[in-house]
Structures are given as structure tokens and as C-alpha cells.
Amino acid sequence: MVKNRLRAYPFFGDLNASRVQQFSIEAAQPRLDLSILREVPDKTIILGVLDLDDMQVESPDTVAARIRDALRFVPAHRLILAPDCGMKYLPRDVAFGKLQALVAGAALIRAELG
């Protein structure tokens, strides 16, 4: 479990009553406390799982751990994986490496889910 997780977005629960069917949220870079996802049980979540403030490319295992954390609160059929905002500011090789880690981490989770 990641220390110093951000508990943010006091309006988050209100989103469940909105007409929006899905929304995107950055989670990796701010180390968001993903228990907040319980507050939107009817929405599809586009979840940022890549920390774009860090030039180090995450391992597939790190990405998979972030996905597993989200799956504690959101069923797989309501979870779409994405990078956090800011990919365009990364050097091309770093951005590509991070996207490869996202794909590989997702593959690990798919294999676990069967």
C-alpha cells in the first residue's frame, strides 16, 4: 500500500447522481486513495495508472498493483485504464516505455482474472 495517499475531491459522491456515464480521474501521480471510487458505484471510471511526474518507467508489476488496488472498489467491467494527464510533456522514449508498462500490467491483470 502506498503511503501518503491523497483523499480528495469532496464532490466525488455527487458525480454518481450526474447524467455522466463515465469520467476520468488521475490516480497514480497524486497517489489518490482509491477507496473514493466506492462513491460512484454506477459510473465507469477511466483511471490514470501512470505517474507522469516521474521520468522512471513503471514496471508492469507496479502498474498491475495500481490496477489491483482499483479493482478492490470497482468491478473490472467498469474500469478503463489510462495514463495520468501530461503524457505530451514526456520524452518520447519515456512515454512509450510507460505505455508499454500499462499494456503489460493490464495483461497481467487479465491473466489473473481469467
Say if residues 38 and 73 touch (Cβ distance below 8 Å): yes
Residue 73 has pLDDT above 50, yes or no: yes
By residue count, the chain amounts to 114
Q: The pTM is what?
A: 0.87
Mean predicted confidence (pLDDT) in 43-51:
95
Q: Give the start-to-end residue ranges of the domains of the chain.
A: 12-113
Rounded to whole angstroms, the Cα distance separating 60 from 99 reads 10
pLDDT band at 7 (very low <50, low <70, confident <90, very high): low
pLDDT at 4 over 70: no
- How many other C-beta atoms are found inside a 10 Å radius of the C-beta of residue 56? 10
Give mean pLDDT, residues 99-113.
97
